[in-house]
Chains A and B, each alone.
Chain A
Amino acid sequence: MEKEFTLSPPSTPITPPANEMESARERKRTSIRKIRRREITLAYACLAPSLLLFGAFLFYPLLKSVYLSLFLTDPQGRVAEFVGFGNFKDILSSDMFYKSFGNTLMFMLLTVPTGIAAALFFAALTHNKLTGMKIFRFIFSLPMAVSVGTGSMIWMILYHPTLGMLNYMLSLAGLGPVQWLTDPKWAMISIAIMTVWMNLGFNYILMLSGIQGVSEDIYDSARIDGSGPLRTFFRITMPLISPTLFFTLVVSIIGAFQAFGQINILTKGGPMNSTNVIVYNIYQDAFINFRFGIGSAQALILFVIILTLTLLQFKFVERRVHYQ
């Protein structure tokens, strides 16, 4: 720019000649183009790490799952024989699949509503300015630090049929012992109790942060209008945190369909397959019996089930969600 001015002779008018203006505009245009191009390059460079990783460990395996599901494989994971939809037909005509699907649904019904209700209850109780709330908030989020491995070990001991704490407490209450993990009628309930406890921390944190997002003024005006605690809770708080509730519902249902660790540690799918859920079934097919093809086909069926459930929730439940 500076060069331009020093070069121009003193007699030239203030507006530079047309061709020079044109070239300046041209230069400006190319420099803008250059900046744009640099921005685009930068954007792709920023996205590259994530995209490469997703490509290698998400999109490629997704396609490979579809591919594997159409074949029988040898124990090394190499495709052996093309069977088309044979794997899917086998799965959809096996009693075990329906049993594990039913178990998964039962597990979902036992854990999701109770888990959300408990978290919501504790979040509502701890949302106030009373002394000691910090401690209570910490206690209710504690299970977030408990993993499926540690949690299962603790509950395995609590559930011990003869020496366990839970049966001892039942005996204090005058009730007979329960075979928590070995009675087919109780095993799924026991797994569900443990799971609700384990997930409480995360659900509680979600609920608390949802409730904290509601403006204080609303509660004040509700109180002035003479609204009682329960009425305020159901008529005002619940609708206002419905986005959080909906999010928690979707995430919990997906999570329920993916439960595996506690089942692998506590019951191994038994007794009498009463806790054999879909993911446990996939694990057994693929990594115990090394039938990767049929395992992949089952995983894809699980994918379709989860996707359908999620879409259904967005279609029918989200309507009732009140976004601000």
Chain B
Amino acid sequence: MSLRLLPKSFIYLLLLVGALAVAFPLLYTLSTSLMTEAESAVYPPPLLPETINLANFLKVIETIPVLRFIANSAIVSCAIMIGQVLTSALAAYAFAFLRFPGKTLLFSLFLATMMVPWEVIMIPNYLTIRSLNWLDSYQGLIVPFLATAFGTFLLRQTFLSLPKELFEAARVDGCGHVRTFLSMVLPLSVPGLATLGVYSFLNNWNMYLWPLLTTNREEMRTVQIGIGMLQFEEMNSWNLILSGVLLMLLPSLLLLALGLKPLVRGITAGALKG
């Protein structure tokens, strides 16, 4: 990068200030979640807790069903992630390797779906889910999201970048499409599949409006909706609210730590290198 031509110490200074500003809300969350109620309520607000106090986490788990929310979000996010990887890998294989009439048309149809904002189809989808009696159910939270045009593009680009000679050789050896797909294309595309997996999981974990519309019962709430309960149950104990927030953040933080590399490497590949 060009900015590396700046003096090192200056770069570090800028980085430290920037990192502190970006991480501040999260550090504040961590710090407050470890405080006692008395500490978190004093003014001026202390930056660090006097002692590390883990009791908040237990208390918040007792007060609201945090673990249930996390489990719900995990079930929904994993199911959608697996479904999206499957449906888009299949569709991407067809677009990348198979010849069939209507290919261009169908491909543009997939492209067009990316242009439709979710809000436009939200009302009819809500009515559909309600008429299927799927409100407050896992299938209501999962099924509408199982197909993704973005994922199909991303994987199509990944598949097309695999060496063609390999597949020609396999075909000459009598390897059919199903075997090519399962034993060659998928294993060779693990980085692309990982990118889609991480991206999809984080997106689903963070979904807000749809679970807000389709879940009412407490035991079906996901993290994003359940978190609102903290606001009402424990309005004045910031240490409890923020320890709940931290618990709900942990799974996606963990995934980000593990999945940052495939994300950085792969996210623009599908979108840009048409």
**Interface residues, chain A, CB within 8 Å of chain B?**
36, 39-40, 42-44, 46-47, 49-51, 53-54, 56-58, 60-62, 64-65, 68, 77, 121-122, 124-130, 136-151, 153-158, 162-165, 168, 197, 200-201, 205-206, 208-213, 219, 222-223, 227-233, 236-237, 243-244, 247, 254, 257-258, 260-261, 264-265, 279, 282-283, 286-287, 292, 295-296, 299-300, 302-303, 306-307, 310
B248 CB–A CB distance under 8 Å: yes
Would you call B121 and A150 a contact (CB within 8 A)? no
- Mask of B115-127 contacts with A, CB within 8 angstroms, 1/0: 1111111111111
14 further contact pairs, Cβ within 8 A, besides A44-B100, A54-B110: A46-B93, A65-B121, A126-B15, A138-B257, A145-B252, A146-B26, A147-B224, A156-B231, A219-B1, A219-B2, A233-B3, A292-B123, A296-B123, A302-B119
Q: Give A164's nearest chain B residue, CB to CB.
A: B45
Cβ of B258 to closest chain A Cβ, rounded Å: 11
Residues of A within 8 A of B202 (CB): 144-145
Would you call A150 and B125 a contact (CB within 8 A)? no
Give 17 A-B contacts (CB < 8 Å), ordered by A residue: A49-B146, A54-B147, A57-B144, A58-B121, A60-B124, A61-B128, A68-B124, A141-B256, A141-B263, A144-B263, A149-B208, A149-B223, A150-B223, A163-B45, A209-B265, A228-B5, A260-B119
B253 CB–A CB distance under 8 Å: yes
Question: Which of B1, B45, B263 is close to A165, meaning CB atoms less than 8 Å apart?
Answer: B45
Contacts A149-B223, A299-B120, A299-B123; is A43 near B100 (CB within 8 Å)? yes
Residues of B within 8 A of A77 (CB): 123, 126-127, 130
Would you call A46 and B117 a contact (CB within 8 A)? no
A139 to B106, CA, bound (A): 40
Within 8 A of A (CB), among B1-56: 1-6, 8, 11-12, 14-15, 18-19, 22-23, 25-26, 28-29, 32, 41, 43-45
Would you call A40 and B256 a contact (CB within 8 A)? no
Question: Which of B120, B205, B268 is close to A302, meaning CB atoms less than 8 Å apart?
Answer: B120
A153 to B99, CA, bound (A): 51
B260 CB–A CB distance under 8 Å: yes
Cβ of A153 to closest chain B Cβ, rounded Å: 5
Would you call B271 and A247 a contact (CB within 8 A)? yes
B196 CB–A CB distance under 8 Å: no
Would you call B2 and A229 a contact (CB within 8 A)? yes
Would you call B22 and A200 a contact (CB within 8 A)? yes
Would you call B22 and A140 a contact (CB within 8 A)? yes
Question: Which of B18, B118, B249 is close to A125, meaning CB atoms less than 8 Å apart?
Answer: B18
B88 CB–A CB distance under 8 Å: yes
Interface size class of B (residues with CB under 8 A): 35 or more
Would you call B238 and A157 a contact (CB within 8 A)? yes
**Interface residues, chain B, CB within 8 Å of chain A?**
1-6, 8, 11-12, 14-15, 18-19, 22-23, 25-26, 28-29, 32, 41, 43-45, 86-88, 90-91, 93-94, 98-101, 103, 106, 109-110, 113, 115-128, 130, 143-147, 149, 152, 177-178, 202, 205-206, 208-209, 212-213, 223-225, 227-228, 230-231, 238, 241-242, 245, 248-249, 252-253, 255-257, 260, 263-268, 271-272
Q: Give B118's nearest chain A residue, CB to CB.
A: A258
Would you call B43 and A148 a contact (CB within 8 A)? no
Would you call B224 and A229 a contact (CB within 8 A)? no
A282 to B45, CA, bound (A): 39
Cβ of A52 to closest chain B Cβ, rounded Å: 8
Q: What number of A-B contacts does a CB cutoff of 8 Å give?
A: 294
Residues of B within 8 A of A53 (CB): 87, 143-144, 146-147
For the complex of A and B, the 9 pairs showing the least CB-CB separation, nearest first, are A232-B2, A147-B206, A149-B224, A61-B124, A127-B1, A53-B147, A61-B121, A43-B100, A64-B124
Would you call B1 and A148 a contact (CB within 8 A)? no
Q: Give A222's nearest chain B residue, CB to CB.
A: B2
Would you call A148 and B224 a contact (CB within 8 A)? yes
Would you call B268 and A247 a contact (CB within 8 A)? yes
Would you call A140 and B19 a contact (CB within 8 A)? yes
Would you call A257 and B117 a contact (CB within 8 A)? yes
A219 to B98, CA, bound (A): 41
Would you call A208 and B264 a contact (CB within 8 A)? yes
Q: Give A208's nearest chain B residue, CB to CB.
A: B264
Question: Which of B113, B145, B264, B271 is close to A212, meaning CB atoms less than 8 Å apart?
Answer: B264
Residues of B within 8 A of A261 (CB): 208-209, 224
Would you call B256 and A62 a contact (CB within 8 A)? no
Would you call B2 and A50 a contact (CB within 8 A)? no
Would you call A57 and B125 a contact (CB within 8 A)? yes
Cβ of B186 to closest chain A Cβ, rounded Å: 13
Contacts A50-B152, A145-B202, A149-B225; is A229 near B256 (CB within 8 Å)? no
Q: Give B251's nearest chain A residue, CB to CB.
A: A145
A68 to B123, CA, bound (A): 9
Would you call B2 and A303 a contact (CB within 8 A)? no
Contacts A65-B124, A154-B245; is A165 near B28 (CB within 8 Å)? yes
Would you call A303 and B123 a contact (CB within 8 A)? no
Residues of A within 8 A of B205 (CB): 147
Question: Which of B2, B110, B115, B130 is close to A124, meaning CB atoms less than 8 Å apart?
Answer: B2
Would you call B3 and A300 a contact (CB within 8 A)? no
Cβ of A269 to closest chain B Cβ, rounded Å: 14
Contacts A62-B121, A128-B1; is A244 near B272 (CB within 8 Å)? yes
A156 to B266, CA, bound (A): 34
